[in-house]
Amino acid sequence: MAFNTNVIGQTGASVGVPSYAGSSPNGTYHGSPNGGAAPMPTFLAERPEFDIFAWHAAYQSCLKFFLDRSQHDSMVQAVAALINIRLPFQWTDHPVMGSGRYAPSGIPSPSTYASPYSRHGIGPQPQTAASWVSLIPFIRRLVATGFDTDGILHGFFGDDWRRGVGDLQEVERRNFLFTAKSVGWAKVKYQYDMPPDQLIPFVRPLQNVKIEEIENAEREWSKWLAMEDWMVGPRDPDVAMAPESRGNSV
């Protein structure tokens, strides 16, 4: 498997091969589905067309692709090594070899081998209950290191990545902006560290940002500031300024 290299940046480099040669990662953040249209709810569950069951099916597709295929790919392993995050098959406790299974206790972890399939000792084993795996830590680490490009997300999570993790990427990008606005660099790094041995090696400013993304983040940040002042519910500025809340008087 290889990363999708159809999206080419200004430098001409492929998306699947991140570069630090003075240019931002290739690919472009596409923002919310309706692009530059009128503002819409920026949290996926608030969108009227959001179907949690359709989303969950796509998310499960991304998870299965990640566990069964991409985590065993050398390019994904290289990115994970650079940003210092363990892939599920490399976990010390109960390494997850694929969807629905993990290495039973006492079976050597494939992280000790050059390839998870290179030694006959990792053949079929008695199966135990599957570990639960979340994709959020991987999305967070890709965002905070500037590696959340289209090509890398496709390489990690497969063809369904836009429907399955695209909205989660959007939310985590906004969370990253909020974190940077709330605290200084050292505390931002601390928030994205995963002790004891998966500390984030570097933190990069958000990459491939569009004005729509900034404006959406500003709106959500304003809502949070209102929350801090208890300006919610009937005190919400938008509600208080609505004509019906003032008896339709102007």
Q: Is residue 82's pLDDT more than 50?
A: yes
**pLDDT tens per residue across span 168-227:** 999 999 999 999 999 999 999 999 999 999 999 999 999 999 999 999 999 999 999 999
DSSP secondary structure string for all residues of 33-99:
TTTTSS---SSGGGSTT--HHHHHHHHHHHHHHHHHTGGGSHHHHHHHHHTT---GGG-SSS---BT
Strand ranges, E, within 107-150: none
Confidence of residue 3 (pLDDT cuts 50, 70, 90): low
Q: Is residue 59's pLDDT more than 50?
A: yes
Residue 244 has a pLDDT of 64
Up-side HSE of residue 239: CA atoms within 13 Å toward CB? 8
**pLDDT tens per residue across span 84-99:** 999 999 999 899 999 9
Q: Report how far residue 155's alpha carbon sits from residue 70's, in angstroms, rounded to the nearest whole number.
A: 7
Residue 61 has a pLDDT of 97
Distances (CA, A) of 116 to 21, 65, 96, 123: 32, 16, 11, 10
Domain definitions of the chain by residue range:
48-116+125-205, 210-250
Residue 2 has a pLDDT of 59
Length of the chain as a residue count: 250
Token couple for 73? 């790919």
Task: Give the mean pLDDT of 12-16.
Answer: 40
Residue 186 has a pLDDT of 97
Query: Mean pLDDT score of the chain, rounded to an integer?
Result: 78
Residue 239 has a pLDDT of 79
Confidence of residue 14 (pLDDT cuts 50, 70, 90): very low
**For the whole model, what pTM was predicted?**
0.72
**pLDDT tens per residue across span 107-133:** 444 444 344 433 334 444 444 445 689
Q: Is residue 40's pLDDT more than 60?
A: no
Q: Check: CB of residue 150 under 8 Å from CB of residue 24.
A: no
**pLDDT tens per residue across span 135-177:** 999 999 999 999 999 999 999 999 999 999 999 999 999 999 9
- Phi and psi at residue 82, to the nearest 5°: -65, -40
Distances (CA, A) of 195 to 114, 131, 188: 24, 20, 14
Q: Is residue 53's pLDDT more than 90?
A: yes
For 103, other C-beta atoms within 10 Å of its C-beta total: 22
Confidence of residue 48 (pLDDT cuts 50, 70, 90): confident
